[in-house]
Structure 1
């Protein structure tokens, strides 16, 4: 019978935070970065949790000081659910009140029950796709226009699409597409992603009355074409239940790379 414990990392046990990474070169790089961050005062070891048993490291989780950055637990795929619940409870004590926990099927088994039992609420299920921007070409739509978020008509449209306070980061471009009647009905944005040579796309949406005209597919293709001018890859996602957007990804040769469960605090 295994006894499970959760403890903060120490300078000596820092290698345990990369113990489950199969690619040892990647593990070594990550360990070097963590040691540099620790030396520079950018890494707080009490926010780096390690789940252990008699057989060794069962999992770990690194909580950043930025609440917008979710926690991605890394767990053995045969770890017992009782152990997962122990780590989930520890995360409640350390993670920020607005911080999410994301279970990614590349890093951990997608078992919601241990987190729910520990006091987390399953908020959503997402799927992540990767698109090679070098494998094929994507058409620029002749009706697409670059617009500014502070244009009065665009700000109204952003409000209608549920993103009234959208502010674009540096390097991002906002694109509008009209419906068949000529009225602007779809918005999307493209810009640099979080990884080198990778683009990100924000498919802001299509007005309900203009759906079914293929605007989403055209807009996504246009944004991919813009992204291909600067980047080699696009990584993006959508809700697992969003069959329409998933079909758009499929049409454009995107590859499903991950399924994620998102949790928020019960309180």
Structure 2
């Protein structure tokens, strides 16, 4: 019978935080980064957790001090459920009061039960797509217009689309498309993503009366065309049950890169 322990890393066991990364070059680069952060005081070892058994490292997690950044557990595919529960409980004990936990199928099995047993509550499921912007050409829509989020009519449209407080960050462009009646009916934005040479898109939405007319597909293609001017890749996601948006990704040659589960703490459910 295996005995499982969950303990913070030490300077000597820091390599265990990259032990499950298959690409050893990537693992070596991440380890160097961790050591640099540790030396510079940006990494606190008490915010790390390593799950071990008599077989070695079974999993690990880094708990960011910024509560808006979820915890991403990394686990072996065959880790026993009782070990997952132990790590999930330890994460819950250390996470910020509103910090979420995110399971990514590239890092851990998508099994909700052990996390729910530990006190986490499954909140949503998402899919992440990647698009090679060099593989094909995307059309610029002749009806698309660059708009200002602070224009009264655009701010009202943002309110109707559920993003009344949207602020367009530096480097981002807000685009509008008209519906059949000539009035603005769809909004989307494009800008730099979180990785080098990668764009991000916020397909804000299409007003209900104008849905089902292809506006979302046209707007997404236009935003991809703009992104291709500066970036090589686009990464974006949507709720797993959003069949319409997933069809848009498929039409534009995007590749399903990950499936994710978001959990909130039980006292928030």
Q: Name the TM-score class by shorter chain.
A: over 0.9
Deviates more, 1:18-27 or 1:98-107: 98-107
| Aligned equivalent of 1:73 | 73
Q: Deviations for 1:124-167, whole angstroms, at most 9, x for unmatched residues?
A: 00011000000000000011111111111111111111111111
SS at match of 1:249: helix
- The residue correspondences of 1:213-232 to structure 2 (distance < 5 A) are 213-232=213-232
SS at match of 1:157: helix
- C-alpha displacement of 1:99: 1.4
Quote the Cα distance in structure 2 between the aligned partners of 1:98 and 1:170.
27
Quote the Cα distance in structure 1 between the aligned partners of 2:148 and 2:39.
42
| Aligned equivalent of 1:100 | 100
Q: Deviations for 1:167-199, whole angstroms, at most 9, x for unmatched residues?
A: 122111111111110111111100001110000
Unmatched runs of 5 consecutive residues or more in structure 1? none
Cα RMSD after superposing both structures: 0.6
- TM-score, with length taken from structure 1: 0.99
Quote the Cα distance in structure 2 between the aligned partners of 1:96 and 1:168.
28
Quote the Cα distance in structure 1 between the aligned partners of 2:171 and 2:147.
14
Quote the Cα distance in structure 2 between the aligned partners of 1:221 and 1:66.
34
| Aligned equivalent of 1:166 | 166
| Aligned equivalent of 1:205 | 205
| Aligned equivalent of 1:130 | 130
Paired residues in the alignment total: 267
Quote the Cα distance in structure 2 between the aligned partners of 1:107 and 1:28.
17
Q: Deviations for 1:88-124, whole angstroms, at most 9, x for unmatched residues?
A: 1111111112211111111100000001111111000
Quote the Cα distance in structure 2 between the aligned partners of 1:79 and 1:66.
28
1:237 aligns with 2:237: yes
| Aligned equivalent of 2:146 | 146
- TM-score, with length taken from structure 2: 0.98
| Aligned equivalent of 1:63 | 63
- C-alpha displacement of 1:43: 0.6
| Aligned equivalent of 1:120 | 120
Q: Deviations for 1:9-41, whole angstroms, at most 9, x for unmatched residues?
A: 111110000000000010000000011111111
Deviates more, 1:112-121 or 1:65-74: 65-74
Quote the Cα distance in structure 2 between the aligned partners of 1:11 and 1:151.
53
Unmatched runs of 5 consecutive residues or more in structure 2? none
Quote the Cα distance in structure 1 between the aligned partners of 2:184 and 2:45.
50
SS at match of 2:21: coil
- C-alpha displacement of 1:7: 0.5
SS at match of 1:199: strand
- Stretches of 4+ aligned residues off by more than 3 angstroms: none
| Aligned equivalent of 1:181 | 181
| Aligned equivalent of 2:31 | 31
